[in-house]
Structure 1
Amino acid sequence: MAMTKKLDKDRPAWPLTISPEKVCFFILKARQFDAKDAPTNEGSASNPSDDAMIDVLEDRADDPVQEEIRSAIWALSVDEQIDLVTLVWLGRGDGIASDWRDIREAAAEAHNNRTAAYLLGTPLLGDYLEEALSMFDESCQAMEANHL
């Protein structure tokens, strides 16, 4: 069910098929994923407690944060996936809030079964989503306060 939020007269209503809470979840997880660094010693057989758990900060193929994001994207409806991509495009500067319908239409045309890979490969994913939310007067501050 789509929720419509009426914004000020200079901004259009935003028909949400994805809740702001879900978008905030992706922002938080994307930031965890973006904080990862390239593996430094892939051949190491050391114990995690011996190396101060530094491997947790390295980007690995079996990264649980990446898998969590991928699974969450796959669990979204097609409309929610399209909205998520549209928000990324808005946040990276491909338009303004009043361009929502046109950008969403382009995202719908581009939609395929590789949405998770596309979004995970997008640098600054969390920043783009946060910027887009702010265009619609939404924020993740309450959710961040409850989870951090």
Structure 2
Amino acid sequence: MTVLDRHNRKLTMPELTLPADYIGQLIVRMRAIQGREAETDADSGSNATDDQAIDMLQETPGDLTRTAIRQEIRGLSPEEQSELVALLLTGRGDAEPEEWQTTKETAVESTGMPVDQYLLSEPLVADLWAEGLERLGFDVPLGDPAPPLPPI
């Protein structure tokens, strides 16, 4: 895929340290985390058959999903963490694709906080990562589509 700069000139697609498939998995996982809401049904007792349906989309003190992704981001190399921040900045329009290398080099310094905290504080991080990948000319691999439902 050809990437064009803001003047419609062809650009060379940058190389990513992180595989695009891995970033796609992070996007899916981050969307799952950010689709949750704070606990609002603390005293589930009205109807035992449907209480868990409400609770499934709520974060609870025992929910380790956010902790797991935070630890995964912390476990990435500094270059990989910088790449995630740079993708966010590119997706948000704060950086242009032709500035990729510079954006990557200065990304972590611009956050002013630990990278995992910065990324999890951005409400649209998953969408911005996807937009950043697209702006850089990459397809956004979000896993296999759901299989078709069997006929009734």
* Bigger Rg, structure 1 or 2: 2
| Cα shift readout 1:101-147 (whole Å, capped 9, x = no counterpart) | 12112214347772111111111111000000101222234624279
Kept in 2: contact 1:86–1:107 (CA 8 A): yes
- Structure with greater proportional helix content: 1
How far apart are the structure 2 equivalents of 1:6 and 1:143? 23
Moved more, 82-91 or 64-73: 64-73
Q: 1:146 to 1:81 in 2, by over 3 A?
A: farther
Aligned match of 1:100: 100
Name the aligned partner's letter for residue 25 of structure 1: Q
Kept in 2: contact 1:83–1:104 (CA 8 A): yes
Q: How far does residue 30 in structure 1 lie from its aligned partner after superposition?
A: 1.1
Moved more, 132-141 or 119-128: 132-141
How far apart are the structure 1 equivalents of 2:86 and 2:62? 28
Aligned match of 1:88: 88
TM superposition score normalised by structure 1: 0.79
Aligned match of 1:134: 134
Kept in 2: contact 1:82–1:111 (CA 8 A): no
Q: How far does residue 71 in structure 1 lie from its aligned partner after superposition?
A: 2.2
How far apart are the structure 2 equivalents of 1:54 and 1:83? 36
Kept in 1: contact 2:70–2:117 (CA 8 A): yes
Q: How far does residue 60 in structure 1 lie from its aligned partner after superposition?
A: 3.5
**3-state DSSP of counterpart to 1:98:** helix
| Runs of 5+ unmatched residues, structure 2 | 148-152
Aligned match of 1:75: 75
| Runs of 5+ unmatched residues, structure 1 | none
Name the aligned partner's letter for residue 81 of structure 2: Q
Q: How far does residue 29 in structure 1 lie from its aligned partner after superposition?
A: 0.8
Q: 1:48 to 1:78 in 2, by over 3 A?
A: farther
Q: 1:110 to 1:74 in 2, by over 3 A?
A: same
Name the % identity.
27
Q: 1:112 to 1:50 in 2, by over 3 A?
A: same
TM superposition score normalised by structure 2: 0.77
Kept in 1: contact 2:88–2:125 (CA 8 A): yes
Q: 1:141 to 1:17 in 2, by over 3 A?
A: closer
Aligned match of 2:115: 115
Kept in 1: contact 2:27–2:142 (CA 8 A): no
Q: How far does residue 17 in structure 1 lie from its aligned partner after superposition?
A: 1.4
Moved more, 101-110 or 30-39: 101-110
